[in-house]
Each structure stands twice: as structure tokens, then as C-alpha cells.
Amino acid sequence: MALIHIFFVDSQFTKYVKTELFGFTEFLSSTGGLLGLFLGFSFLSFMEMVYFLTMRLWCRLYRQRSSQRPVVLQTHPLDHRKKAIYPFAN
């Protein structure tokens, strides 16, 4: 059996710390910038598309509900002897 002794010249060492180059916010801003540059797309454009699609869906549903209910308008002449109603007439 052999015994080996290892000695270092200096008792000090250099500490290296690695940190991430891009955090989440940097990655998000870089991705948004590249999309805006190459596609003409931004977060505001995405939100406008979401708004447009939700409003379109909501209007379509509202229109379908209002078309299912029949609309009944009743008009009564002011003078019961007259059989016709003339607009803007006294």
C-alpha cells in the first residue's frame, strides 16, 4: 500500500461564480422584440386579437338569443275612431 501526500503552493484559490445570462424577464423582452421585428407582432396586438375574438363570440351569442325571442310591437292610435296611424301628425 502506498501513501501519497499532495501539497498546494498557495492556500488561496480563485472562486468562479456562474450566473444566468438571461433571466425570465430578459428572455421575454428579447422574444417580444424579435417577434415584433420579424413578424410585426407585439403583446398589444395579441391582446387586441383576444379582445376581437371575445367580442365577436359575445355578439354572436347575443344575436342568437335575441333572434329566438319574438319581438312584438303594439301600437294604439290616439283617436280610437281612426284606423290608421300617421307619424308626426297631430
pLDDT of residue 56: 94
pLDDT of residue 65: 82
pLDDT at 84: 63
Determine which helix (DSSP H) or strand (DSSP E) holds 21, and give its type and residue range: none
Q: What is the DSSP letter of 72?
A: -
Give mean pLDDT, residues 6-11.
80
DSSP state, residue 70: P
- Those residues with Cβ within 8 angstroms of residue 83's Cβ, 6 or more apart along the chain or in another chain: 77
Domain ranges in the chain are: 18-61
- Residue 71, pLDDT score: 65
Which pLDDT belongs to residue 68? Answer: 73
Q: What are 24-69's pLDDT values in tens digits?
A: 888 888 888 888 788 777 778 889 999 999 999 999 998 888 777 7
What's the rounded Cα separation, in Å, for the pair 77 and 85? 6
